[in-house]
Amino acid sequence: MAMVCLTDFEEYANAHLSKATWDYYAAGADECCTRDDNLLAYKRIRLRPRILRDVSVSDTRTTVQGKEISFPVGIAPTAFHCLAWHEGEVATARATEGLNTCYITSTYSTCSVEEIVAAAPSGYRWFQLYVYRERKLSEQLVHRVEALGYKALVLTVDVPYTGKRRNDIRNQFRLPPHLKVKNFEGVFEQETSVPEEYGIPANTLDPSISWKDIYWLQSITCLPIIIKGILTKEDAELAVEHGVQGIIVSNHGGRQLDGGPASIDALAEIVDTVAGRIEVYVDGGIRTGSDVLKALALGAKCVFIGRPAVWGLAYKGEEGVREVLQILNDEFRLSMALSGCRNVAEISRNLVQFSKL
Protein backbone atom coordinates (compact mmCIF):
# COMPACT_ATOMS: atom_id res chain seq x y z
CA MET A 1 0.00 0.00 0.00
CA ALA A 2 1.29 3.45 -0.93
CA MET A 3 1.71 5.74 2.05
CA VAL A 4 0.06 8.96 0.89
CA CYS A 5 -0.47 10.94 4.09
CA LEU A 6 0.43 10.79 7.79
CA THR A 7 -2.86 9.08 8.63
CA ASP A 8 -1.69 6.07 6.59
CA PHE A 9 1.33 5.74 8.88
CA GLU A 10 -0.87 6.12 11.96
CA GLU A 11 -3.14 3.31 10.81
CA TYR A 12 -0.18 1.07 10.02
CA ALA A 13 1.38 1.66 13.45
CA ASN A 14 -1.93 1.03 15.22
CA ALA A 15 -2.28 -2.29 13.40
CA HIS A 16 1.29 -3.50 13.92
CA LEU A 17 2.46 -2.29 17.35
CA SER A 18 1.50 -4.12 20.53
CA LYS A 19 -1.52 -2.70 22.35
CA ALA A 20 0.60 -1.47 25.28
CA THR A 21 3.09 0.24 22.94
CA TRP A 22 0.36 1.85 20.81
CA ASP A 23 -1.45 3.02 23.94
CA TYR A 24 1.77 4.48 25.33
CA TYR A 25 2.44 6.58 22.22
CA ALA A 26 -1.23 7.54 21.73
CA ALA A 27 -1.89 8.39 25.37
CA GLY A 28 -3.22 11.73 26.49
CA ALA A 29 -3.87 12.81 30.06
CA ASP A 30 -7.22 12.09 31.74
CA GLU A 31 -10.03 12.39 29.14
CA CYS A 32 -7.61 13.30 26.31
CA CYS A 33 -9.48 16.55 25.57
CA THR A 34 -6.30 18.57 25.04
CA ARG A 35 -4.66 15.79 23.00
CA ASP A 36 -7.65 15.70 20.65
CA ASP A 37 -8.02 19.49 20.53
CA ASN A 38 -4.43 19.78 19.29
CA LEU A 39 -5.70 18.31 16.01
CA LEU A 40 -9.14 19.93 15.93
CA ALA A 41 -7.70 23.40 16.49
CA TYR A 42 -5.89 23.30 13.12
CA LYS A 43 -9.21 22.52 11.41
CA ARG A 44 -10.69 25.70 12.91
CA ILE A 45 -8.08 27.80 11.10
CA ARG A 46 -8.81 28.73 7.48
CA LEU A 47 -6.30 29.84 4.86
CA ARG A 48 -6.74 33.04 2.82
CA PRO A 49 -4.95 32.20 -0.43
CA ARG A 50 -3.57 34.87 -2.72
CA ILE A 51 -3.59 34.23 -6.47
CA LEU A 52 -1.60 35.17 -9.58
CA ARG A 53 1.64 35.41 -7.61
CA ASP A 54 4.03 33.44 -9.91
CA VAL A 55 4.77 30.40 -7.78
CA SER A 56 6.78 28.63 -10.48
CA VAL A 57 9.77 28.50 -8.12
CA SER A 58 9.42 27.82 -4.39
CA ASP A 59 11.86 27.57 -1.50
CA THR A 60 11.00 25.88 1.81
CA ARG A 61 14.32 26.57 3.56
CA THR A 62 14.44 28.41 6.88
CA THR A 63 16.81 28.86 9.82
CA VAL A 64 16.54 27.85 13.47
CA GLN A 65 19.03 29.33 15.94
CA GLY A 66 21.05 30.54 12.95
CA LYS A 67 21.30 27.12 11.28
CA GLU A 68 19.74 26.60 7.85
CA ILE A 69 17.39 23.61 7.56
CA SER A 70 15.67 22.36 4.42
CA PHE A 71 12.12 23.00 5.62
CA PRO A 72 10.49 24.16 8.86
CA VAL A 73 9.62 20.74 10.33
CA GLY A 74 11.80 19.02 12.94
CA ILE A 75 11.42 15.99 15.17
CA ALA A 76 10.11 16.69 18.67
CA PRO A 77 11.60 14.82 21.63
CA THR A 78 9.74 11.52 22.01
CA ALA A 79 10.81 8.63 24.20
CA PHE A 80 11.57 4.97 23.58
CA HIS A 81 11.93 4.77 19.79
CA CYS A 82 13.15 1.18 20.09
CA LEU A 83 9.60 0.21 21.05
CA ALA A 84 8.60 1.11 17.48
CA TRP A 85 11.67 -0.09 15.54
CA HIS A 86 14.69 -2.10 16.62
CA GLU A 87 17.22 0.61 15.69
CA GLY A 88 15.21 3.25 17.51
CA GLU A 89 16.65 6.76 17.78
CA VAL A 90 19.62 5.84 15.60
CA ALA A 91 17.21 5.41 12.67
CA THR A 92 15.45 8.69 13.50
CA ALA A 93 18.79 10.50 13.60
CA ARG A 94 19.85 9.16 10.20
CA ALA A 95 16.51 10.16 8.65
CA THR A 96 16.72 13.75 9.91
CA GLU A 97 20.38 14.00 8.89
CA GLY A 98 19.48 12.84 5.39
CA LEU A 99 16.78 15.49 5.02
CA ASN A 100 18.76 18.25 6.75
CA THR A 101 16.40 19.16 9.52
CA CYS A 102 16.52 19.35 13.32
CA TYR A 103 16.14 16.36 15.64
CA ILE A 104 15.49 17.04 19.33
CA THR A 105 16.80 13.95 21.10
CA SER A 106 14.86 12.89 24.18
CA THR A 107 16.52 12.24 27.52
CA TYR A 108 14.33 9.10 27.56
CA SER A 109 15.99 7.58 24.50
CA THR A 110 16.55 3.86 24.09
CA CYS A 111 19.84 4.68 22.32
CA SER A 112 22.52 6.76 24.03
CA VAL A 113 23.47 10.26 22.94
CA GLU A 114 26.83 8.83 21.86
CA GLU A 115 25.21 6.14 19.68
CA ILE A 116 22.98 8.74 18.03
CA VAL A 117 25.92 10.98 17.15
CA ALA A 118 27.95 8.04 15.82
CA ALA A 119 25.07 7.01 13.55
CA ALA A 120 24.50 10.49 12.09
CA PRO A 121 27.68 12.49 12.69
CA SER A 122 26.71 15.51 10.58
CA GLY A 123 23.11 15.71 11.81
CA TYR A 124 21.76 18.88 13.41
CA ARG A 125 20.61 18.02 16.93
CA TRP A 126 19.27 19.62 20.07
CA PHE A 127 18.97 17.75 23.37
CA GLN A 128 15.83 17.67 25.50
CA LEU A 129 16.55 17.89 29.21
CA TYR A 130 14.65 17.43 32.47
CA VAL A 131 15.77 18.77 35.84
CA TYR A 132 16.16 15.98 38.40
CA ARG A 133 16.13 16.07 42.18
CA GLU A 134 19.75 14.97 41.89
CA ARG A 135 21.05 17.94 39.89
CA LYS A 136 24.26 16.10 39.04
CA LEU A 137 22.25 13.80 36.74
CA SER A 138 21.10 16.76 34.67
CA GLU A 139 24.51 18.41 34.80
CA GLN A 140 26.33 15.30 33.59
CA LEU A 141 23.94 14.97 30.65
CA VAL A 142 24.48 18.63 29.72
CA HIS A 143 28.25 18.18 29.66
CA ARG A 144 27.97 14.95 27.64
CA VAL A 145 25.83 16.47 24.90
CA GLU A 146 27.84 19.68 24.79
CA ALA A 147 31.01 17.67 24.21
CA LEU A 148 29.25 15.62 21.52
CA GLY A 149 28.29 18.68 19.49
CA TYR A 150 24.58 19.03 20.26
CA LYS A 151 23.67 22.62 19.37
CA ALA A 152 21.02 23.56 21.97
CA LEU A 153 19.32 22.40 25.14
CA VAL A 154 15.54 22.06 25.18
CA LEU A 155 14.38 22.27 28.78
CA THR A 156 11.00 20.61 29.29
CA VAL A 157 9.17 22.61 31.97
CA ASP A 158 5.67 21.11 32.06
CA VAL A 159 6.45 17.90 33.98
CA PRO A 160 6.88 18.67 37.69
CA TYR A 161 4.84 15.47 37.95
CA THR A 162 3.81 13.02 35.23
CA GLY A 163 0.27 13.44 33.89
CA LYS A 164 -2.30 10.74 34.51
CA ARG A 165 -2.37 8.57 31.39
CA ARG A 166 -5.16 6.11 32.03
CA ASN A 167 -4.22 3.41 29.54
CA ASP A 168 -0.63 3.29 30.77
CA ILE A 169 -1.99 2.66 34.26
CA ARG A 170 -4.42 0.01 33.02
CA ASN A 171 -1.68 -1.68 30.98
CA GLN A 172 0.86 -1.33 33.82
CA PHE A 173 3.20 0.03 31.16
CA ARG A 174 6.88 -0.79 31.60
CA LEU A 175 9.80 -0.91 29.23
CA PRO A 176 10.47 -4.50 28.15
CA PRO A 177 13.52 -6.05 29.84
CA HIS A 178 15.72 -5.78 26.72
CA LEU A 179 15.29 -1.99 26.55
CA LYS A 180 16.67 0.70 28.84
CA VAL A 181 16.81 4.47 29.13
CA LYS A 182 20.32 4.31 27.69
CA ASN A 183 21.46 7.76 28.83
CA PHE A 184 21.11 6.53 32.43
CA GLU A 185 22.52 3.05 31.90
CA GLY A 186 24.18 1.92 35.13
CA VAL A 187 23.01 4.96 37.11
CA PHE A 188 19.93 3.50 38.81
CA GLU A 189 20.67 -0.22 38.73
CA GLN A 190 21.33 -0.47 42.43
CA GLU A 191 17.85 0.89 43.23
CA THR A 192 15.80 -2.15 42.20
CA SER A 193 13.41 -1.81 45.18
CA VAL A 194 12.15 1.62 44.03
CA PRO A 195 9.00 1.63 41.81
CA GLU A 196 9.74 2.41 38.19
CA GLU A 197 8.07 5.15 36.14
CA TYR A 198 8.80 5.17 32.42
CA GLY A 199 12.14 3.43 32.70
CA ILE A 200 13.64 5.23 35.70
CA PRO A 201 12.83 5.26 39.44
CA ALA A 202 9.64 7.11 40.34
CA ASN A 203 10.04 10.58 41.88
CA THR A 204 13.34 11.25 40.10
CA LEU A 205 12.04 14.45 38.47
CA ASP A 206 12.22 17.58 40.63
CA PRO A 207 8.84 19.23 41.25
CA SER A 208 10.57 22.23 42.86
CA ILE A 209 11.93 23.38 39.46
CA SER A 210 11.45 27.15 39.09
CA TRP A 211 12.70 30.10 37.06
CA LYS A 212 15.89 30.24 39.13
CA ASP A 213 16.87 26.92 37.54
CA ILE A 214 17.21 28.73 34.22
CA TYR A 215 20.05 30.71 35.76
CA TRP A 216 21.53 27.50 37.15
CA LEU A 217 21.44 25.91 33.70
CA GLN A 218 23.03 29.00 32.12
CA SER A 219 25.82 28.75 34.70
CA ILE A 220 26.82 25.24 33.61
CA THR A 221 26.57 25.52 29.80
CA CYS A 222 27.26 27.82 26.89
CA LEU A 223 24.58 26.18 24.73
CA PRO A 224 21.43 28.08 23.77
CA ILE A 225 18.51 27.22 26.06
CA ILE A 226 15.06 26.68 24.59
CA ILE A 227 12.10 26.24 26.95
CA LYS A 228 9.50 23.67 25.93
CA GLY A 229 6.06 23.74 27.50
CA ILE A 230 5.03 27.40 27.59
CA LEU A 231 1.34 28.14 26.87
CA THR A 232 0.78 31.70 28.13
CA LYS A 233 2.01 35.19 27.30
CA GLU A 234 2.95 35.73 30.96
CA ASP A 235 5.40 32.83 30.94
CA ALA A 236 6.67 33.82 27.49
CA GLU A 237 7.60 37.24 28.87
CA LEU A 238 9.35 35.63 31.84
CA ALA A 239 11.27 33.35 29.48
CA VAL A 240 12.57 36.36 27.55
CA GLU A 241 13.46 38.17 30.78
CA HIS A 242 15.45 35.13 31.92
CA GLY A 243 17.57 35.21 28.79
CA VAL A 244 16.56 32.01 27.00
CA GLN A 245 17.06 31.74 23.25
CA GLY A 246 13.76 30.14 22.22
CA ILE A 247 10.33 28.84 23.24
CA ILE A 248 8.51 25.73 22.08
CA VAL A 249 4.80 26.33 22.55
CA SER A 250 3.70 22.89 23.68
CA ASN A 251 1.24 21.02 25.89
CA HIS A 252 3.34 17.84 25.76
CA GLY A 253 1.07 16.28 23.15
CA GLY A 254 -1.85 16.58 25.57
CA ARG A 255 -0.12 14.15 27.94
CA GLN A 256 0.21 16.42 30.98
CA LEU A 257 -2.59 18.87 31.93
CA ASP A 258 -5.91 17.97 30.34
CA GLY A 259 -8.10 21.00 29.69
CA GLY A 260 -5.35 23.38 28.68
CA PRO A 261 -5.28 25.07 25.26
CA ALA A 262 -4.31 23.43 22.01
CA SER A 263 -0.73 24.44 21.25
CA ILE A 264 -1.68 26.26 18.05
CA ASP A 265 -4.34 28.26 19.93
CA ALA A 266 -1.70 29.48 22.41
CA LEU A 267 0.83 30.39 19.71
CA ALA A 268 -0.37 33.83 18.59
CA GLU A 269 -0.39 35.49 22.03
CA ILE A 270 3.09 34.16 22.73
CA VAL A 271 4.44 35.35 19.37
CA ASP A 272 2.92 38.79 19.97
CA THR A 273 4.42 39.01 23.46
CA VAL A 274 7.88 37.87 22.39
CA ALA A 275 7.76 40.37 19.50
CA GLY A 276 10.77 38.94 17.69
CA ARG A 277 13.15 39.04 20.65
CA ILE A 278 13.64 35.24 20.55
CA GLU A 279 12.47 32.46 18.23
CA VAL A 280 9.15 30.71 18.86
CA TYR A 281 8.35 27.15 17.73
CA VAL A 282 5.31 24.94 18.21
CA ASP A 283 4.51 21.23 18.46
CA GLY A 284 1.33 19.18 18.88
CA GLY A 285 -1.28 18.25 16.30
CA ILE A 286 0.63 18.79 13.05
CA ARG A 287 -0.55 16.20 10.52
CA THR A 288 -0.42 17.96 7.13
CA GLY A 289 1.65 20.45 5.21
CA SER A 290 -1.15 22.99 5.49
CA ASP A 291 -0.93 22.64 9.29
CA VAL A 292 2.74 23.65 8.99
CA LEU A 293 1.74 26.63 6.85
CA LYS A 294 -0.89 27.72 9.41
CA ALA A 295 1.63 27.51 12.26
CA LEU A 296 4.15 29.63 10.36
CA ALA A 297 1.44 32.13 9.46
CA LEU A 298 0.70 32.51 13.18
CA GLY A 299 4.36 33.23 13.87
CA ALA A 300 6.15 29.93 14.50
CA LYS A 301 9.67 29.78 13.12
CA CYS A 302 9.49 25.98 12.86
CA VAL A 303 7.18 23.16 13.95
CA PHE A 304 8.10 19.85 15.54
CA ILE A 305 6.32 16.51 15.14
CA GLY A 306 6.24 13.75 17.77
CA ARG A 307 3.84 10.85 17.21
CA PRO A 308 4.09 10.91 13.36
CA ALA A 309 7.83 10.24 13.59
CA VAL A 310 7.13 7.18 15.74
CA TRP A 311 4.53 5.97 13.21
CA GLY A 312 7.16 6.30 10.49
CA LEU A 313 9.58 4.24 12.56
CA ALA A 314 6.96 1.55 13.09
CA TYR A 315 6.35 1.40 9.34
CA LYS A 316 9.90 1.10 8.05
CA GLY A 317 12.51 2.51 10.43
CA GLU A 318 14.77 5.20 8.98
CA GLU A 319 13.03 5.02 5.61
CA GLY A 320 9.63 5.43 7.27
CA VAL A 321 10.71 8.57 9.15
CA ARG A 322 12.15 9.96 5.92
CA GLU A 323 8.84 9.27 4.16
CA VAL A 324 6.85 11.04 6.89
CA LEU A 325 9.12 14.08 6.69
CA GLN A 326 9.14 14.07 2.88
CA ILE A 327 5.34 13.93 2.71
CA LEU A 328 5.12 16.91 5.06
CA ASN A 329 7.73 18.77 3.02
CA ASP A 330 5.91 18.10 -0.25
CA GLU A 331 2.53 19.04 1.23
CA PHE A 332 3.97 22.20 2.77
CA ARG A 333 5.53 23.25 -0.53
CA LEU A 334 2.22 22.65 -2.34
CA SER A 335 0.16 24.50 0.30
CA MET A 336 2.60 27.42 0.13
CA ALA A 337 2.26 27.63 -3.65
CA LEU A 338 -1.53 27.28 -3.62
CA SER A 339 -1.65 30.12 -1.06
CA GLY A 340 0.57 32.35 -3.18
CA CYS A 341 3.78 32.07 -1.13
CA ARG A 342 7.14 31.44 -2.82
CA ASN A 343 9.24 31.19 0.35
CA VAL A 344 8.80 31.22 4.12
CA ALA A 345 9.46 34.97 4.32
CA GLU A 346 6.22 35.56 2.41
CA ILE A 347 4.13 33.67 4.96
CA SER A 348 2.34 36.12 7.27
CA ARG A 349 -0.69 36.32 9.55
CA ASN A 350 -2.72 37.75 6.66
CA LEU A 351 -2.76 34.19 5.33
CA VAL A 352 -5.08 32.84 8.07
CA GLN A 353 -8.46 33.47 9.62
CA PHE A 354 -10.29 31.58 12.33
CA SER A 355 -13.43 29.70 11.31
CA LYS A 356 -16.69 30.95 12.78
CA LEU A 357 -18.01 27.38 13.01
Residues annotated in the binding site for glyoxylate, as ranges? 24, 165, 252, 255
Please check whether residue 217 is in contact with residue 155, taking contact to mean a CB–CB distance below 8 angstroms: yes
Q: Please tell me the chain's helix, strand, coil percentages from 3-state DSSP, rounded to the nearest 5.
A: 45, 15, 40
Cross-strand bridge partners of residue 180: none
- Sign of torsion over alpha carbons 323, 329, 330, 332: positive
Q: How far apart are CA 316 and CA 144, in angstroms?
A: 30
Binding-site residue numbers are 24, 77-79, 106, 128, 130, 156, 165, 228, 250, 252, 255, 283-287, 306-307
96-100-105-111 Cα dihedral, nearest 10 degrees: 50
Q: How far apart are CA 231 and CA 269, in angstroms?
A: 9
Q: How far apart are CA 332 and CA 345, in angstroms?
A: 14
Please check whether residue 230 is in contact with residue 270, taking contact to mean a CB–CB distance below 8 angstroms: yes
At 24 the three-state DSSP class reads helix
Binding-site residue numbers for FMN are 77-79, 106, 128, 130, 156, 228, 250, 283-287, 306-307
The DSSP secondary-structure symbol of 121 reads T
Residues 197, 303, 225, CA angle at the centre, nearest 5°?
Answer: 65
Among this protein's residues, is 178 annotated catalytic?
no
Catalytic position from the list 16, 81, 86, 252: 252
Sequence-distant (6+) residues with CB within 8 A of 183 are 107, 108, 109, 112, 113, 141, 144
In the chain, the amino acid numbered 335 is S
Please check whether residue 77 is in contact with residue 104, taking contact to mean a CB–CB distance below 8 angstroms: yes
- Sign of torsion over alpha carbons 162, 266, 279, 342: positive
Q: How far apart are CA 295 and CA 89, in angstroms?
A: 26
Number of H helices, E strands in the chain: 12, 14
Query: Would you name the residues annotated as active-site residues?
Result: 252
